Amino acid sequence: MHSADTIPPPRLATTPGRITRALLRWMMRPARVAAVEALSPRFRLIDLEGECLKNVAWQPGQKIQVAIGAGLSSRTYTPMSWDADAGRTRMLAYLHGDGTGSRWAGSLLAGQVCQFLGPRRSLDFSGANGPVILFGDETSFGLAAALRNDPAATELVFEVSDAAESRAVLTAIGLDRATVIERRDGGVHLAAIGADLSRHVTPNARFVLTGKAQSIQSVSQALKRSGMGSSSVKSKAYWSPGKTGLD
């Protein structure tokens, strides 16, 4: 990780066209990549800084959209933290496959300038009067980190492709208490996850289901069979095989 006084002069990660640059200036705001740390082969801890990040009223669970590539493509991230006085935010990127977002995050360097939009509402955790149980996957680690100081967030359960890598990353970001379950062909592991989460069904519990759309559906059905009302379950699909643009 580079310190602020050793970062080279800002430079754009890519060179968008004139019309695209105009649209980015109109829609988004600039931020400088202050540091990039590889926590593992597939996880990057990214710090952004800039004047546009100051005096921002951010709440855990809110999202930002970051422009990637030379066009108007963007990816959505849930900040782990936000220092509105210093104008600095931190997010965790998961290099999922060989898509545009993974290539962008994997090649990102300190000193580059990116364009962002937000923060905007995504998941609202205010007003919870009971335990909050979070289910997700590697794309949900950032959200979980944002909630790590919330005493209501009592349980964290993740389905992952590599348990050893995920546990190391979770420990690095202060979430070593999380439960990690490796994916299995055909989604057979989801039955165990559904059964585990169903143990936490109580009248005042709140469930937040994130990550893969199909996994959310499976876990949601298990909770419904256990008597959990739909008003006590929030869901946010971050991705689905073959689809882009989910956030």
Per residue in 174-190, pLDDT (tens digit) is: 999 999 999 999 999 99
Which tens digits make up the pLDDT trace of 3-53? 333 333 334 444 555 655 555 566 799 999 999 999 999 999 999 999 999
Instruction: Confirm if 169 and 245 have CB atoms less than 8 A apart.
Output: no
pLDDT at 128 over 80: no
Which tens digits make up the pLDDT trace of 143-163? 999 999 888 778 999 999 999
The pLDDT of 162-172, averaged and rounded, is 98
Domains of the chain with CATH codes: 4-120 (2.40.30.10), 132-239 (3.40.50.80)
Which tens digits make up the pLDDT trace of 56-90? 999 999 999 999 876 678 899 999 999 999 999 99
The pLDDT of 233-244, averaged and rounded, is 89
